[in-house]
Amino acid sequence: MPAKLEIVSQNRCFEGSVIKYEHQSEVLKCTMRFNVYLPDSKEPLPVLYFLSGLTCTEDNFIQKAGALRYLSDKKIALVCPDTSPRGVTITGQDDAWDFGSGAGFYVDATEAPWSAHYQMYSYVIRELPGLIHAHLAVDPDRASIMGHSMGGHGALISALKNPGRYRSVSVLAAICHPTQCPWGIKAFSGYLGATNRSCWEAYDATELARSYRGPQLPILLDQGDQDVFLKQKQLLPQHFLLAAENGPGRQQLAIENRMRPGFDHSYFYIQTFIEDHIQFHARHLLEASD
C-alpha cells in the first residue's frame, strides 16, 4: 500500500503547478519532502527526476534553475527529492557540510549508525518512483533523470545500475569518479566502510561505465571549465569519458560531452544551460515507444 502524501504547499507557475509533498518514508524511516512540477495535461505526463548536490534540499533546483518554463512548454513533469534523510538523530550528522545532513550521496549505507536511515539509493530508485506512479498522472514508461554535482553522481549511477529504466540522463558538473576524489572517499568510507572497495565501485559511475552492457543510454555530460571543484579534482569527468570509450558498452553509451568556457559550479551556470538539458530529455521522452 503506497504511503499517503500530504500537500505542504501549492503554487501556480506558467501552465502548471509546483506542489510540495510530505510523506513518511518506509525506506529512510523519517519524514521526507519532495517537490513536483506538473504541467497542465489531460494525459499522463513523462517525468524527469532531478537529484541535487551537496547542502541542497528539494527546493534549490525547482526555485533557482529556471527550468519550469521549458518543462511547461514540453509538458514534462519534474520531481525534485531531498538529498538526505531529515529529522533523524545521528551523532555527527551535522558536523560537516559534505557528509551527513544534505549529503546522502545516493548510496544505501551499510555502516552503523548511518545504515538505519541513509538509504538514499533505494529511496530514489524504488520508494519515490512508487509514490509518484501511485499518486500522480505520470507515465512510468517515460522517465529520465538528471543531476548536479553530487546529484550528477546520483543520476549517472541510477541510470547505469538500472539499464532501461531511464530514457536519458544528463548531468551538470557531476562527481564522476567518487572512489578517486576526496568528497567520494570521505562519504564512501563513512557510509560503506573504509575497506569495502567492491561496494564503493558499485556506486561509482566511472566503474559502472567501464563494465556497462545494457541498452543504449543517451548521456549529456556538461561541465564548466572554470569550476573550482574541477580544478581540485573532485569531479573527474575525463575518467568517466575514458572508461566509457574503452568499455564493452562504448556503442551503447551515447555521450554528448560539453565543456563550457568561463562557467563555474553555481546555479548561474545551471540557469544558462538548463534549456539545453530540457531539450535533450524532451527528444527522448516525447518520442514514441518502440
pLDDT band at 166 (very low <50, low <70, confident <90, very high): very high
Query: Can 265 be counted among the known catalytic residues?
Result: yes
Q: Catalytic: which of 148, 153, 265, 281?
A: 265
Residue 204 annotated in active site? no
Give the closest residue to 248 by CA, choosing from 201, 203, 208, 200. Answer: 208
Ordered by start, the domain boundaries in the chain are 52-286
Q: Quick one: fold of 52-286?
A: Rossmann fold (3.40.50)
The sheet that has 169-172: what strands, in order across it?
A: 6-12, 16-25, 30-39, 77-81, 45-51, 138-148, 169-172, 217-224, 253-260
CA-CA distance, 161 to 165, in Å (whole number)? 9
| Least confident among 72-81, 92-101, 115-124, 281-290 | 281-290
User: Model's pTM, two decimal places?
Assistant: 0.97
The residue-averaged pLDDT of 144-159 equals 98
Res 1: pLDDT: 58
pLDDT at 196: 85
Respond yes or no: is residue 40 known to be catalytic. Answer: no
| Residue 73 · residue 104 · CB < 8 Å | no
- Which of these is catalytic: 108, 204, 222, 227? 227
